[in-house]
A and B are shown apart, each in its own frame.
Chain A
Amino acid sequence: MPRQCDICHDARAIVRRPKTAQSICKECFFHVFETEVHNTIVSSRLFQRGDRVGIGASGGKDSTVLAYVMKTLNERYNYGLDLYLLSVDEGIAGYRDDSLETVKRNKEQYELPLLIVSYEQLYGWSMDSIVQAVGRKNNCTFCGVFRRQALDRGALMLDLDHIVTGHNADDVAETILMNIFRGDISRLGRCTEIATTGDGYVVRSKPFKYAYEKEIVMYAYLRRLDYFSTECTYSPNAYRGYAREFLKSLERVRPSAILDIIHSGEAMHVAADVQLPTLDRCERCGYISSNKVCKACVLLEGLERGIPKLGVSRTNAKHIEDPTANRAVDLVHFETLRRDALELRRIRMENKQTTQPEPDASCQRSACSCACDNAADCS
Chain B
Amino acid sequence: MESSVRGSDSGDARPVAHDEKCLTITAMYSGGMERLIKDEKTEVVHKIERKDDSTPLMMEEFIAYLGKTDVAEGKQDMFIQENSVRPGIMVIINMVDWEVEGELEYELKNNDCVEFISTLHGG
Contacts and interface: CB of A to CB of B under 8 A. Distances in A.
B63 interface: no
Interface residues of A, number: 32
Contacts of B122: 58, 60, 229-232
B interface SS class: loop
A213 B32 contact: no
Given A231-B121, A244-B120, A214 B100 contact: no
B117 A245 contact: no
Interface in B44-100: 86-88, 90, 92, 95-97, 99-100
A168 B86 CA distance: 20
B35 A231 contact: yes
Interface residues of B, number: 21
Interface in B91-123: 92, 95-97, 99-100, 117-123
Interface in A62-108: 62-63
Contacts of B95: 14
A23 B123 contact: no
A23 B100 CA distance: 6
Nearest to B98: A16
Task: Identify which of A13, A168, A217 gathers the most chain B CB atoms within 10 Å of its CB.
Answer: A217
Given A221-B117, A230-B32, A252-B87, A168 B123 contact: yes
Contacts, number: 74
Interface string A233-272: 0000000000011001101100000000000000000000
A217 B87 contact: no
A213 B121 contact: no
Nearest to A212: B119
Contacts of B123: 58, 60-63, 166-168, 171, 213, 216
Given A216-B119, A217-B90, A231-B121, 4 more contacts: A14-B95, A221-B90, A230-B32, A231-B32
